[in-house]
Amino acid sequence: TSYHKVLEENRILYNQVQDLKGAIRVYCRVKPFSPGQSNAQSTVDYIGEDGNIMIVNPQKQGKEARKVFSFNKVFPTNVTQEQIYADTQPLVRSVLDGYNVCIFAYGQTGSGKTYTMSGPDLMSEETWGVNYRALRDLFHISKERAEAIKYEVGVQMIEIYNEQVRDLLVSDGSNRRLDIRNNSQLNGLNVPDASLVPVSCTQDVLDLMRIGQKNRAVGATALNERSSRSHSVLTVHVRGKDLVSNSILKGCLHLVDLAGSERVDKSEAVGERLKEAQHINKSLSALGDVISALAQKSPHIPYRNSKLTQVLQDSLGGHAKTLMFVHINPEVNALGETISTLKFAERVACIELGAAQSNK
């Protein structure tokens, strides 16, 4: 029967999810050079199938010039959006079984974060990013399970800019600041006043994304591209009612396009730009600190140090699963940022190993 089919699928999925449980997965994606840059020198010397990437500094010689970083996966530059999603799918699907999942895009501005999460063009399904593919997949699986479980899916979309939370799904473009309420009863609904819009097909999602993009552009100027200085969080809330046992399960998926991780030259940044840079630094390091504290099983997890970690609180740690896409730009003039991005990512990725070793 279809109920048994669902159970069997759940068992397979459960096994896949067990593989991922507890671990913070880090996938590295290298932006391809554009066709006009075919002769450009690359700082990426080698990408291994084993998750290693070698970075070369053209200004140094010998051993000094090369550094290897290791992650769960490193994608070659010609990876398709479909292949990226294939490696993300087990996590996304686990949301339908009541797990909370966080997927981040980290990297300097221009390294491909938005390309991975949203894609370059809403109109072209082939280049859709993780966000749309995840929702399409959730709709597809919930339809397949419809005889056994009745699912409802709703989305919220917020922006965190200078430590203020804003609703991106308001139709009137109002700029209301929202509060965060961390409460275990809420199960991922940490910004309860942000619009929660029911969706049941990809067209619904596309319509909402357009509203979100329009609202996000408010406040951006040509000089000050706001989207690179704010975190955008798309949260998918799933509620499933088991039609046999009548039990209810809830899961949520946060899809986060982080602010650009580049360090700002303190001597140059002043005024608004300096304030933005300080807020970004603070929230990205707070995210790193929370992830390390979780992996070290520290009794105190410093969620309260930034709005970002407060919003994501019940989806980081516990039974929640985390995936970080780390993006790098292989151009030689981005080398400094590439190294600091990879160091941050390695800190996030290695912690679990360190914790496991110390438990032995």
Annotated binding site for ATP: 107-114
Residue from 196, 190, 188, 189 nearest 318 by CA: 188
Selected range binding ligand ADP among 7-15, 111-119, 170-178, 188-196, rule: CB under 6 A: 111-119
198 binds ligand ADP (CB under 6 A): no
133 binds ligand ADP (CB under 6 A): no
- Judged by CB under 6 A, the residue of 89, 109, 200, 281 near ligand ADP is 109
Tell me the binding residues: 107-114
Site string (310-329) toward ligand ADP, x via CB under 6 A: -----------------x--
- Judged by CB under 6 A, the residue of 115, 128, 132, 344 near ligand ADP is 115
What does the alpha-carbon distance between residue 213 and residue 132 come to, in Å, rounded to a whole number?
A: 14
Selected range binding ligand ADP among 45-53, 106-114, 238-246, 340-348, rule: CB under 6 A: 106-114
- Judged by CB under 6 A, the residue of 10, 43, 100, 114 near ligand ADP is 114
- Judged by CB under 6 A, the residue of 228, 261, 306, 315 near ligand ADP is 228
Buried b or exposed e, range 129-149, using 16+ CB within 10 angstroms:
bbbbbbbbbbbebbeebeebb
**Residue 161, strand partner residues:** 164
Query: How does DSSP classify residue 129?
Result: -
- Judged by CB under 6 A, the residue of 20, 53, 107, 291 near ligand ADP is 107
In sequence order, what DSSP letters do the residues of 191-260 get, joined into one string? Answer: STTS--EEE-SHHHHHHHHHHHHHHHHTT--SSS-GGGGSEEEEEEEEEEEETTT--EEEEEEEEEEPPP
Determine the 3-state secondary structure of 153 from DSSP.
strand
Name the minimum Å distance from CB 115 to ligand ADP: 3
- Judged by CB under 6 A, the residue of 93, 113, 133, 237 near ligand ADP is 113
Name the minimum Å distance from CB 107 to ligand ADP: 5
88 binds ligand ADP (CB under 6 A): no
32 binds ligand ADP (CB under 6 A): yes
Where do contacts with ligand ADP occur on this chain (CB under 6 A)?
31-32, 107, 109-115, 120, 228, 327
